[in-house]
Every structure is written in C-alpha cells, then in structure tokens.
Amino acid sequence: MAGCGDVDPKNARDLTASPAAWLLWYAPIAVIIAGSFWTAGRNWLWAGGFAVMGIGCVVNGSRCQRLHCYFTGPLFLAAAGYAIAAQFRLVSLRSGLFLLIVLGLACTFQCAEKPFGRYWKGV
C-alpha cells in the first residue's frame, strides 16, 4: 500500500474516478438496461451504449494504462458492432446469451486487476 504522500500519476489520469465516468459508463449502462426491456429499439440502444463504453475504455487505457481497459474497450466495441449487425439481420442475436457473454467477460477482465494490478506496468 502506498504511503500518504505517494500519489500514483496514473490514478490521477483515470477517468473512472472523474465525473466523466457518468457519461462514459454509468449512463450507457442505463441505456443498455433500457434496451433489455424495449425489444424494438434494443439493438440501437445496445450499439450506442456499448460504443460509448468501448470508446471510454480505449481512451482511459491510453490515458492511465488501466489494465482491464485494454480488454473491455475492444470487447465493448465488438459488442456494438455485433448489435448493429443484428439490427441488419446479418447475425442472430440471442439477447440473454449475448448480454451474459459480454458482461461476464467484462467482469472477468475487471477481476483480473486483483492478481495483476490495476495499472499496466509495462515491460
């Protein structure tokens, strides 16, 4: 554990600790939940919500090297692309399974910070 005077500069740049977290993650989560209940608009709501979260993770990963962002950013962007493809009937979307997989992987990546550390240490 860091001492009182030790401030990790990566933590100061982490968007998850700023008000931007509301726009980049919390509001999109609400949109994704709303899409779970509105079948007609589901794919568009999910595509938008996952895209915003994916972009937020990619930006946050580049700002502070948050470990899980390196995985969740591409995951959420892929989920947004899949939702768009499902809207145009290029792929089938089993909504329950889709959310289970995306959110299960996101939780797994988040949990990976426990053994490996919150921020990427580099080589």
Q: Residue 110: which of 69, 50, 82 has the closest Cα?
A: 69
> Across the chain, how many H-helices and E-strands are there?
7, 0
pLDDT number for residue 4: 38
Q: What does the pLDDT read at residue 122?
A: 65
Q: Residue 6 pLDDT > 80, yes or no?
A: no
Per-residue model confidence as pLDDT tens digits over 66-100:
999 999 999 999 999 999 999 999 999 999 999 99
Answering whether pTM is above 0.95, one says no
Q: Find all residues with CB under 8 Å of 120, minimum gap 6, and list them.
A: 65, 66, 67, 70
CA distance 24 to 49: 9
